[in-house]
Amino acid sequence: MDVTAAEKQDRPRGGNWSRRGVLSGMLGAPVLLLAACSGDDGKPAAASPSGSVPAGGGASGSPSTSPKASVAQITVTPADGTTAAPFTQPVTVTVLDGTLVSVTVTDGTGKAIAGQLSADRASWTSTAKLSSGTKYTVAASAVDGEQRPAEANATFSTASPANTFVGYFTPEDGSTVGVGMPVSINFNKAITDRKAVQQAITVVADPPVEVVGHWFDATRLDFRPQEYWAKGTRVTLKLRLKDVAGAKGVYGTQSKDVTFTVGRSQVSTADLTADTLTVRTDGKVTATYPVIGGAPEHRTWAGKLVISEKYQQTRMNSSTVGLGSEYDIPDVPHAQRLTTSGTFIHGNYWSPGSQFGNDNTSHGCIALQDVQGGNDPSTDAAKFYASSMVGDVVEVVNSGDRAVSPANGLNGWNMSWSEWVAGSAV
């Protein structure tokens, strides 16, 4: 009996038919990539005992001109659609009943993630670290024993860590500092894996010089060369802490570069027997000022002290440094911090002029003559303040006290090079 034109149009051409579908690999359940769409009766084809759909065949006894589907089955882990994949685990792609031809994993910017194909080409594993909170795309292809192709695509996102740490660094990006300025990083959480964290931080200098890190404690890591920086040196701090485990379950978040420049060389010597401050700029004496040092009961720390902060005017209260109510001066001019514990080199308008260069009467600070309000640029304190920058060094000699603790301020120069290197975790 003749069929109508409409019937001819509706009938699948060439007997039974199959359509290739590209499916993503599912975690723990391989998916066959080529599936039969229907049998002759229009019903879905029966599944095989394994749960996958038979490839390339119609109903039993029906002739077919379509090529047989590939039997290669590709599985991607993490599975397609995963939204909180662990970023500490690699991406894996495996194939059953076939060999892998290619695997590409890219992040949201299109950057490819490195990986390694097994010798039997049955699996691929990423070798580069994944990033947290990042979307990834996987494209894989394989062939079965008869060289019939199969493909798989998947998209997943990695989780963001629940617990994180950051490092607060000094000096600031783009700053110009003195030759004694170390790179100092203070972490907001205790670091137990110091090696992993230090390996993720590098400090490079131009012109080149060896720079080594030193851990003062679980939250502070400083870097410096063996000697003061050479003037004009360009220093770059490279933080690659993102997803680095600083402690169990605690991961870094930073990935950035910080660059600063070393300015002219200025190292001053405070001789507290002579009560003078001699300033040397680029190796030449540029000024000498009479000063007041610490009294016998409050001697000034000896050693190499680095200026870490500068204040045109600040309040100094003895209660903040454990000296009770001995003083409270609300407007100390031209103050430059030398230690965390409260040692400054600053202007002094309240002591008699005859004491400068003759007496040591302070509570441990070094004082230069000044005026109240600090508005006279001709005073010794104003001139020294104007000539100084953060990172300059004040070397204190003949103070009668021991050398300052290297951890008290930015004063790691008071440690020998061998002692400094011994504090490195790498």
Which tens digits make up the pLDDT trace of 25-36?
Answer: 333 333 333 333
pLDDT of residue 65: 59
Let me know whether 185 and 217 are in one domain. yes
Catalytic, 37? Answer: no
**What per-residue confidence (pLDDT) applies to 261?**
98
Cα(216)–Cα(416) distance, rounded to whole angstroms?
A: 14
In this prediction, residue 321 has a pLDDT band, given cuts at 50, 70 and 90, of: confident
CA distances from 285 to 266, 277, 280, 281, 377 (A): 10, 11, 4, 6, 20
Computed on alpha carbons and rounded to an integer, the radius of gyration of the chain in Å comes to 36
Catalytic residue (choose from 214, 334, 363, 365): 365
- 214 carries an active-site annotation: no
- 423 domain-assigned: no
CA-to-CA distance for 216 and 235, rounded, in angstroms?
Answer: 22
117 and 23 in a common domain: yes
Asked whether 25 and 154 are in contact (CB, 8 A), the reply is: yes
User: Residue 11: is its pLDDT beyond 50?
Assistant: no
Quote the pTM value: 0.79
Q: Are residues 340 and 359 in the same domain?
A: yes
Which of 133, 160, 187 is the last residue before a domain boundary? Answer: 160
- Distance between CA 83 and CA 16 in Å, rounded? 39
Catalytic residue among 214, 334, 346, 363: 346
What is the tally of structural domains in the chain?
A: 3
pLDDT of residue 325: 78
- Please state, rounded to an integer, the average pLDDT across all residues of the chain: 88
264: β partners: none
Instruction: Name residues whose C-beta falls within 8 Å of residue 211's C-beta, 6 or more positions apart in sequence.
Output: 183, 203, 204, 205, 223, 224, 225, 235
The string of pLDDT tens digits covering residues 151-190 is: 999 999 999 999 999 999 999 999 999 999 999 999 999 9
Q: Distance between CA atoms of 1 and 15, rounded to whole angstroms?
A: 18
Last-in-domain residue among 160, 193, 221: 160
Q: What residues pair up with 393 in beta bridges, in sequence order?
A: 267, 306
pLDDT digits (tens, 9 = 90+) for 384-410: 999 999 999 999 999 999 999 999 999
Q: Quick one: how far is CA 406 from the chain centroid?
A: 25
First to last CA, the chain: 88
Say if CB 224 and CB 282 are below 8 A apart. no
Q: Domain containing 192 — which CATH number?
A: 2.60.40.3710
pLDDT of residue 108: 92
